[in-house]
Structure 1
Amino acid sequence: MLIRANSCPIRALAAAKVSRVPWAKGRQAYFGRRKNKQSLDAVEKAAFFVTLDETEQGYRKEDPVTSMDTYAKSLLHGSCYDRWFDKTFTLVVFKNGKMGLNTEHSWADASIVGQLWENVMSSDCLQLGYTEDGHCKGDINQNIPFPTRLQWEIPEECQEVIERSLCTAKSLADDVDFYSFPFDTFGKGLIKKAKISPDAFVQLSLQLAYYRDMGKFCLTYEASMTRLFREGRTETVCSCTTESCNYVQAMEDPTQNVSSLQQFMINSHHFISIWIAADKHQHLYRLAMTGAGIDRHLFCLYVVSKYLGVESPFLKEVLSEPWRLSTSQTPQQHINLEKNPEFVSSGGGFGPVAADGYGVSYILVGEHLIHFHVSSKFSCPETDSHRFGKNIKQAMVDIIALFGVGMNSTK
Structure 2
Amino acid sequence: MAEAHQAVAFQFTITPEGIDLQLSYQALNQIYLSGVRSWKKRVSRVRNSLIKGVYPASPSSWLFVAIGILATMYMQSDPSMGLITKIQQHLPIEGMGQTMVSALVFSTLLWLSLILALRFCLKLLLSYHQWMFEKHGRMSNTTKVWVPLVRLLSSRKPLLYSYQSSLPHLPVPAIQDTVSRYLESVRPLLTDPEFKRMSDLANEFESNLGNRLQRYLKLKALWATNYVSDWWEEYVYLRSRGPIMVNSNYYGMDFLYVTPTSVQAARAGNTITALLLYRRKVNREELKPSRVPGTVIPLCAAQCERMFNTTRTPGVETDVLQHWLDSEFVAVYHRGRYFRLWVYRAGRLLSPREIEDQIQRILDDASPPLPGEEKLGALTAGDRIPWAQMRKQYFSSGVNKRSLDIIERAAFFVTLDDEEQGMRGDDPEGNLDRYAKSLLHGKCYDRWFDKSFSVVIYKNGKSGLNAEHSWADAPTVAHLWEYTLATDAFQLGYTEDGHCKGDVEPSLPQPQRLVWNIPAEAQVSSSLAVAQALADDVDCHVFPFREFGKGRIKKCRVSPDAFIQISLQLAYYRDRGGFCLTYEASMTRLFREGRTETVRSCSNESSTCVHIHPHSTAECRRLFQLASERHQNLYRMAMTGAGIDRHLFCLYVVSKYLGVESPFLKEVLSEPWRLSTSQTPVQQMNLFDLKNHPDFISLGGGFGPVADDGYGVSYIIVGEDMVNFHVSSKYSCSQTVSNHLVLAIAEIFVDFSMAVSAFSNPMEMCISGQHTLN
Same fold (TM over 0.5): yes
Structure 2: distance between partners of 1:244 and 1:141: 62
Q: Indicate yes or no: 2:607 matched with 1:264.
A: no
Q: Indicate yes or no: 2:440 matched with 1:76.
A: yes
Structure 2: gaps (5+ residues): 1-330, 338-373, 759-774
Paired residues of 2:624 and 2:756 also in contact (CA < 8 A): no
Q: Which structure 2 residues correspond to residues 96-135 of structure 1 after superposition, within 5 A?
A: 96-135=460-499
> 1:269-302 deviations in whole A, cap 9, x for unaligned?
xxxx111101111111111111111111111112
Structure 2: distance between partners of 1:123 and 1:92: 17
**In structure 2, which of residues 597, 602, 605 is the aligned counterpart of residue 243 of structure 1?**
605
SS at match of 1:319: helix
**In structure 2, which of residues 739, 742, 751 is the aligned counterpart of residue 398 of structure 1?**
751
Q: Indicate yes or no: 2:725 matched with 1:372.
A: yes
Q: State the partner residue of 1:206.
A: 568
Q: Which structure 2 residues correspond to residues 137-148 of structure 1 after superposition, within 5 A?
A: 137-138=501-502, 140=504, 146-148=510-512
Q: Indicate yes or no: 2:676 matched with 1:310.
A: no
Q: Give the deviation of 1:137 after TM superposition.
A: 3.7
Paired residues of 2:583 and 2:676 also in contact (CA < 8 A): yes
**In structure 2, which of residues 610, 624, 629 is the aligned counterpart of residue 274 of structure 1?**
624
> 1:49-107 deviations in whole A, cap 9, x for unaligned?
00011111110152122110000000000000000000011110111111111111111
> In structure 2, do the counterparts of structure 1 residues 319 and 149 end up closer, same or farther at CA, with 3 Å as the change threshold?
same
Q: Give the deviation of 1:144 after TM superposition.
A: 5.9
Structure 1: gaps (5+ residues): 406-411
117-126 or 286-295: which moved more? 117-126
Q: Which structure 2 residues correspond to residues 17-36 of structure 1 after superposition, within 5 A?
A: 19-36=383-400
Q: State the partner residue of 1:11.
A: 377
SS at match of 1:157: coil
> In structure 2, do the counterparts of structure 1 residues 133 and 318 end up closer, same or farther at CA, with 3 Å as the change threshold?
same
> In structure 2, do the counterparts of structure 1 residues 194 and 144 end up closer, same or farther at CA, with 3 Å as the change threshold?
farther
Structure 2: distance between partners of 1:78 and 1:6: 13
Structure 2: distance between partners of 1:34 and 1:131: 44
**In structure 2, which of residues 530, 533, 539 is the aligned counterpart of residue 171 of structure 1?**
533
Q: Which structure 2 residues correspond to residues 335-350 of structure 1 after superposition, within 5 A?
A: 335-350=688-703
Q: Give the deviation of 1:349 after TM superposition.
A: 0.6
Q: Give the deviation of 1:170 after TM superposition.
A: 0.2
Q: Which amino acid aligns with 1:233?
A: R
Structure 2: distance between partners of 1:338 and 1:170: 43
Q: State the partner residue of 1:152.
A: 516
Structure 2: distance between partners of 1:141 and 1:176: 45
Q: State the partner residue of 1:222.
A: 584
Q: Which amino acid aligns with 2:683?
A: Q
Q: Indicate yes or no: 2:684 matched with 1:331.
A: no
Q: State the partner residue of 1:298.
A: 648
SS at match of 2:464: strand
> In structure 2, do the counterparts of structure 1 residues 131 and 355 end up closer, same or farther at CA, with 3 Å as the change threshold?
same
SS at match of 1:156: coil
Structure 2: distance between partners of 1:352 and 1:49: 25
Structure 2: distance between partners of 1:340 and 1:205: 30
> 1:38-58 deviations in whole A, cap 9, x for unaligned?
111111001210001111111
Identity of aligned pairs, percent?
A: 61
Structure 1: distance between partners of 2:336 and 2:423: 23
Q: State the partner residue of 2:360.
A: none
Q: Give the deviation of 1:141 after TM superposition.
A: 6.2
> In structure 2, do the counterparts of structure 1 residues 394 and 306 end up closer, same or farther at CA, with 3 Å as the change threshold?
same
Paired residues of 1:338 and 1:366 also in contact (CA < 8 A): no
SS at match of 2:612: helix
Paired residues of 2:605 and 2:630 also in contact (CA < 8 A): yes
Q: State the partner residue of 2:635.
A: 285
Q: Which amino acid aligns with 1:189?
A: G
Q: Which amino acid aligns with 2:525?
A: E
Q: Give the deviation of 1:403 after TM superposition.
A: 2.7
Structure 1: distance between partners of 2:666 and 2:548: 43
> 1:9-28 deviations in whole A, cap 9, x for unaligned?
11100101xx3110011111
Q: Indicate yes or no: 2:654 matched with 1:322.
A: no
Paired residues of 2:379 and 2:528 also in contact (CA < 8 A): yes
> 1:304-348 deviations in whole A, cap 9, x for unaligned?
122222111110121121000000010123224233312201110
Q: State the partner residue of 2:83.
A: none
45-54 or 136-145: which moved more? 136-145
TM-score, normalised with respect to structure 2: 0.49
SS at match of 2:701: coil
Q: Give the deviation of 1:387 after TM superposition.
A: 0.7
Paired residues of 1:175 and 1:378 also in contact (CA < 8 A): yes
Paired residues of 1:205 and 1:392 also in contact (CA < 8 A): yes
Q: Indicate yes or no: 2:559 matched with 1:197.
A: yes
**In structure 2, which of residues 739, 742, 764 is the aligned counterpart of residue 386 of structure 1?**
739
Structure 2: distance between partners of 1:362 and 1:61: 24
Structure 2: distance between partners of 1:302 and 1:166: 34
Aligned-pair Cα RMSD in Å: 1.6
**In structure 2, which of residues 389, 402, 422 is the aligned counterpart of residue 38 of structure 1?**
402
Structure 2: distance between partners of 1:60 and 1:41: 38
Structure 2: distance between partners of 1:340 and 1:233: 34
Q: Give the deviation of 1:138 after TM superposition.
A: 4.4
Q: State the partner residue of 1:232.
A: 594
Paired residues of 2:678 and 2:714 also in contact (CA < 8 A): yes
Structure 1: distance between partners of 2:336 and 2:438: 14
Q: Which amino acid aligns with 2:485?
A: M
SS at match of 1:178: strand
Structure 2: distance between partners of 1:144 and 1:117: 28
> In structure 2, do the counterparts of structure 1 residues 61 and 191 end up closer, same or farther at CA, with 3 Å as the change threshold?
farther
> 1:113-160 deviations in whole A, cap 9, x for unaligned?
11111111222322333333433344556786531111111112212x
> In structure 2, do the counterparts of structure 1 residues 360 and 144 end up closer, same or farther at CA, with 3 Å as the change threshold?
farther
Q: Indicate yes or no: 2:426 matched with 1:62.
A: yes
Paired residues of 2:609 and 2:620 also in contact (CA < 8 A): no
Paired residues of 1:376 and 1:385 also in contact (CA < 8 A): yes
Q: State the partner residue of 1:408.
A: none
Structure 2: distance between partners of 1:144 and 1:286: 54
Paired residues of 1:51 and 1:92 also in contact (CA < 8 A): yes
TM-score, normalised with respect to structure 1: 0.91
SS at match of 1:39: helix
- Higher share of residues assigned helix: 2
140-149 or 122-131: which moved more? 140-149
SS at match of 2:512: coil
Q: Which amino acid aligns with 1:264?
A: E
Paired residues of 1:5 and 1:51 also in contact (CA < 8 A): no
Greater C-alpha Rg:
2
> In structure 2, do the counterparts of structure 1 residues 144 and 230 end up closer, same or farther at CA, with 3 Å as the change threshold?
farther
> In structure 2, do the counterparts of structure 1 residues 285 and 142 end up closer, same or farther at CA, with 3 Å as the change threshold?
farther
